[in-house]
Amino acid sequence: MNTAHLPVLALKRNEDRRLRAGHLWVYSNEVDNRKTPLSAFEPGTLIVIQSATGKALGAGYVNPHSLICARILGRKPRTHFDAGFFARRLTSALELREILYAAPYYRLVFGEGDALPGLVIDRYADVCVVQITTAGMEVLREPMLEALQQIIAPAGVLLLNESPVRELEGLSLENGIIDTVPETIELEEGGARFTAPLGGGQKTGWFYDQRSNRQAMLKYVRGRRVLDVFSYIGAWGIQAAAAGAAEVVCVDASTVALEYLQHNAAANTVSTRLRALQGDAFAVLKELQEDGQVFDVVVVDPPAFIKRRKDIPGGEQGYLRLNRLAMNLLAPGGMLISCSCSMHLAENRLQSLVYQAARQQGRHLQILERGFQAPDHPVHPAIPETAYLKAIFCRLPA
């Protein structure tokens, strides 16, 4: 789509500084509604964004109903958002992943981190799972999919349209399938083999973002007793068992997830050293403490407790409580690996909450390592929100 004759979205005076510094988002209160009323645009309309002086800052798309009302796709105002455009972006993304990983299992596109806001693509060999979260990217779906076919040529594509963010964008939540997509996929990580559900699982079926942190865990688990909280289908726990943990206990609320976990444990011949507990994580941790259970390594990798800024107070209390319960189960000298995928919780704040939990129990805390999202989730330096995942590797000495 040629942007040469696109409508203009004009910004207020001095509201272009963030975009000039590299950011890709425009907020609704930055738009000059007298010159270019937001209400005049349909969701997903392609636009050229201009400063108050009329200088073009880039081309992208607009949604008048969203707080982030516009996103930049290209800095050149005359850009063709066609299959060729997407093919160039996908080729660049693919080149990075092929440097990082020997096998085709990775996040191929990470939204703004790959200069494709509103788009996430996870690759499982010849199957791709595509998440479109903005009205503008939905408008561009066909050229994007055409480019994906050119560059990857997947045997099947699952359009996973379940994110609540789509509702905020005025989009439907209906999934779609192109060609043939299996109900499950097979993948390998850290030498372990896994079967994961597609569509019926969590997110896109697997959490590639924790890959590096799971590898960092392995050196701490040999011969030790490990507790994996919010285990899902066993990415942490099974790799711990395969790395020589004496025993692994996995906790998750989902019956389906634990069925996959048991299957994956058997496939990796670690079933005799792994057991699963179903239930609410907070309740199970309390029960384990009441039973006098003690572990050498505890991993807590919860879902995001903070989805919006207004959730910060309650979410922080959730992280504090979770880490305190985890510490109650740690033997002297034990390791706590505490994670958060809440982009609204800064790493230093997670560290403060973990330290606060330790102090409430009168225990000393040593921080040994810090972990972040895997490099197939590249961070955009001008957009702090793209650096959302953090992990703190702690030791609680005797």
pLDDT in tens, 15-72: 999 999 999 999 999 999 999 999 999 999 999 999 999 999 999 999 999 999 999 9
Domain identity same for 194 and 249: yes
Q: Are 349 and 316 in contact (CB under 8 A)?
A: yes
Distance CA 248, CA 256 (A): 19
Distance CA 125, CA 104 (A): 5
Domain identity same for 334 and 359: yes
DSSP 126: T
Spacing of C-alpha 329 from chain mean position? 28
State the Cα angle at 149 between 143 and 150, rounded to 5°. Answer: 90
CA neighbor of 394 nearest in space, from 282, 305, 300, 284: 300
Distance CA 150, CA 145 (A): 9
Distance CA 356, CA 394 (A): 13
pTM for the complete prediction?
A: 0.94
Q: Are 130 and 176 in contact (CB under 8 A)?
A: no
Phi, psi for residue 65 in degrees, rounded to 5? -95, 0
Task: Indicate which CATH number applies to the domain containing 262.
Answer: 3.40.50.150
Is the per-residue pLDDT at 287 higher than 90? yes
How sure is the predictor about 209, in pLDDT bands with cuts at 50, 70 and 90?
A: very high
Distance CA 356, CA 366 (A): 13
How sure is the predictor about 78, in pLDDT bands with cuts at 50, 70 and 90?
A: confident
Domain identity same for 156 and 270: no
| Final residue of a structural domain among 182, 211, 236 | 182
Domain identity same for 133 and 41: no
Domain identity same for 332 and 369: yes
**Following CA atoms 266, 270, 271, 272 in sequence, which dihedral angle do they give, to the nearest 10 degrees?**
150
Distance CA 324, CA 348 (A): 17
**How many domains are contained in the chain?**
3
What 3-state DSSP class applies to 382? coil
Which residue among the candidates 69, 339, 341, 394 is catalytic per the annotation?
341
| Final residue of a structural domain among 182, 198, 218 | 182
Is residue 47 included in any domain, yes or no? yes
Domain identity same for 159 and 252: no
Is residue 138 included in any domain, yes or no? yes
Domain identity same for 309 and 169: no
Per the structure block, which two tokens stand in for 309?
Answer: 């800024």
Is residue 1 included in any domain, yes or no? no
Domain identity same for 191 and 220: yes
Domain identity same for 65 and 21: yes
Domain identity same for 195 and 285: yes
Query: What does the pLDDT read at residue 200?
Result: 66
Task: Indicate which CATH number applies to the domain containing 35.
Answer: 2.30.130.10
| Final residue of a structural domain among 74, 99, 131 | 74
Task: Indicate which CATH number applies to the domain containing 104.
Answer: 3.30.750.80
Query: What does the pLDDT read at residue 201?
Result: 62
Is the per-residue pLDDT at 4 higher than 80? no
Is residue 2 included in any domain, yes or no? no
Domain identity same for 363 and 252: yes
Q: How far apart are the first and last CA of the chain?
A: 64
What 3-state DSSP class applies to 162? coil
Domain identity same for 45 and 113: no
Query: Active-site residue 394, yes or no?
Result: no
The boundaries of the domain holding residue 168 are 83-182
**What value does the mean pLDDT take over residues 277-287?**
98
Is residue 370 included in any domain, yes or no? yes
Is residue 216 included in any domain, yes or no? yes
Is the per-residue pLDDT at 1 higher than 70? no
What is the residue whose two structure tokens read 């793209």? 386
Q: Are 92 and 378 in contact (CB under 8 A)?
A: no
